[in-house]
Amino acid sequence: MTNYTPTEMMTVTAARALGNQDVCFVGIGMPSAACNLARLTHAPEITLIYESGTIGTKPDVLPLSIGDGELCETAMNTVPVTEMFRYWLQGGKITVGFLGAAQLDKYGNINTTVIGDYDNPKVRLPGGGGAPEIATSCGEIFLVMKQSKRGFVEKIDFVTSLGYGKGGDDRASYGVTTKGPSRLITDLCIMEPHSVDKHFIVTSIHPGVNRDDIIAATGWQVEFADEIAQTPVPSDHELQILRDLHARTNAAHEGQ
């Protein structure tokens, strides 16, 4: 078995959550790597959609942004952003949204706006973009994020994108009918929402990781499922495809 990094473990695990039947709204960064790895391995028929309006895109290299020409050049079709959001996203035609976060709480609420006080922030982040609409309009949401106390916090500084709100039925109280964050994939474990309260609980632990590692990297009190699985390790094939993808990307974007 080839050695792998925690980031590769996370990316491969996230990719495996997707299938041929999915129509996936892809975020830039690690979500893009995971979705394209799925397309290049076990889910060649998956439909990848990016916020810029590209439908069925099959990039040879990972995009730098949603405006990267690689997306439009390899897409089956490109539609206006207004059509993408109103007809495709809000019309309920997208099964999965793949998102990351700067801060995340135990109910899957996302902050990508500001760290610290809004009027006097420590860090001003890029903002929501299309993530707030993705979080509420896709059939379900997969979250992918490296685990740390800095990012996994008890209370986020700003709610950019809705997860389960305050937990329980709070999400539905806003008139949101989609499933919400159904899986959180980190470099340490997989978490899924509690069936009633909707806070994340650990359901699978990656090889070489123990419970204390997860607790030490989480800003809220961690709950473990009664039965914990061990996440399957990446295969040599998955790692080779992922590394080749990153190598092509680095070569294409060198100096940009």
Number of separate domains in the chain: 1
Q: Identify the CATH number of the domain in which residue 171 sits.
A: 3.40.1080.10
Domain membership of residue 256 (yes or no) is no
Is the per-residue pLDDT at 9 higher than 80? Answer: yes
Tokens 């997306």 appear where? 71
pLDDT value of residue 123? 92
| Residues ≥6 apart with Cβ < 8 Å to 13 | 185, 190, 206, 231
- Could you give the 3-state DSSP secondary structure of residue 44? coil
pLDDT value of residue 196? 97
Q: Residue 223: count other Cβ atoms within 10 Å of its Cβ.
A: 13
- Once rounded to an integer, what is the mean pLDDT over residues 36-41? 98
Domain membership of residue 255 (yes or no) is no
Distances in Å between the Cα of 104 and the Cα atoms of 75, 116, 160, 169, 199 are 32, 14, 10, 19, 12
For residue 135, give its domain range: 6-249
Question: What's this model's pTM, rounded to 2 decimal places?
Answer: 0.93
pLDDT value of residue 2? 72
pLDDT value of residue 1? 55
pLDDT tens column, 80-114 = 999 999 999 999 999 999 898 999 999 999 999 99
- Once rounded to an integer, what is the mean pLDDT over residues 23-52? 94
% of the chain with per-residue pLDDT over 70:
99
36: confidence class by pLDDT, cuts 50, 70, 90: very high
66: confidence class by pLDDT, cuts 50, 70, 90: confident
Tokens of 219: 């800003």
Is the per-residue pLDDT at 24 higher than 80? Answer: yes
Residue of 196, 209, 211, 217 lying closest to 153 (CA atoms) = 217
- Once rounded to an integer, what is the mean pLDDT over residues 66-80? 93
Domain membership of residue 48 (yes or no) is yes
Higher-confidence residue of 130 and 12: namely 12
Domain membership of residue 62 (yes or no) is yes
Q: Which residue out of 8, 51, 70, 133 is catalytically annotated?
A: 51
Domain membership of residue 56 (yes or no) is yes
pLDDT value of residue 255? 66
Is the per-residue pLDDT at 256 higher than 70? Answer: no
Give catalytic status of residue 8 as yes or no. Answer: no
Domain membership of residue 160 (yes or no) is yes
